[in-house]
């Protein structure tokens, strides 16, 4: 089982990603940045209306993990409020993803994890990726090679694939049909 996830949107790539997902009968989870969601309200609504899941990727994404767990949680809660304002009070997703992931930071993020869990959130990491966050816009063959290597080394029957939906990630869109 493979779960496709996209961080850092919505962006100018979102409509293309949604089109490709729809053409292939695939749903994904989009971890949204609140300030980007405010600028792309129609895309947020479209993601949900087309059957995808929307999760929280903080409001600002400018987290250094030096500001303390309480300030981090405030940023998460601010994103949650933005998503509720767009999707209505029935929006109740408590899925969130740490900018940069949780597992890659070791014990450093334990207080942050504890704060979001106490607030009712479930954090979702990944165990597979295309590596599209490395460099400015890695070529499609590089992304596909990364995916194949990471999928082969995954220690589970299911993979959570990390991709990015930020504006500069044009090759992610180009690779998506092959990823699927």
Q: Which residues are catalytic?
A: 7, 164
- What number of residues does the chain have? 180
- Distance between CA 20 and CA 149 in Å, rounded? 23
* 53 DSSP β-pair partners: 29
**Is 165 in contact with 18 (CB distance < 8 Å)?**
no
Q: Which pair of structure tokens corresponds to residue 130?
A: 């295309």
Rg (CA), the chain: 16
Q: Which pair of structure tokens corresponds to residue 121?
A: 């959130």
**Is 61 in contact with 80 (CB distance < 8 Å)?**
no
Helix-strand-coil split of the chain, %, nearest 5: 45, 15, 40
The structure tokens 């029957």 sit at 157
Element (H, E) at 111: helix 110-118
């Amino acid at each position: 089982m493979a779960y496709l996830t996209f961080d850092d949107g919505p962006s100018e790539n979102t409509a293309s990603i949604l089109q490709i997902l729809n053409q292939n009968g695939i749903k994904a989870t989009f971890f949204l940045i609140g300030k980007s969601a405010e600028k792309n309200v129609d895309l947020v609504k479209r993601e949900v209306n087309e059957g995808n899941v929307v999760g929280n990727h903080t409001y600002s994404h400018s987290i250094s993990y030096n500001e303390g767990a309480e300030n981090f949680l405030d940023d998460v809660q601010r994103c949650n409020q933005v998503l509720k304002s767009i999707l209505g009070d029935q929006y109740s997703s408590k899925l969130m993803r740490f900018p940069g992931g949780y597992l890659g930071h070791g014990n450093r993020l334990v207080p942050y994890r504890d704060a979001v869990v106490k607030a009712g959130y479930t954090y979702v990491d990944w165990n597979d990726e295309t590596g599209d966050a490395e460099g400015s816009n890695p070529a499609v063959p590089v992304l596909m090679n990364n995916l194949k290597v990471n999928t082969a080394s995954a220690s589970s029957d299911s993979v959570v694939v990390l991709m990015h939906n930020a504006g500069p990630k044009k090759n992610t869109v180009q690779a998506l049909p092959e990823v699927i």
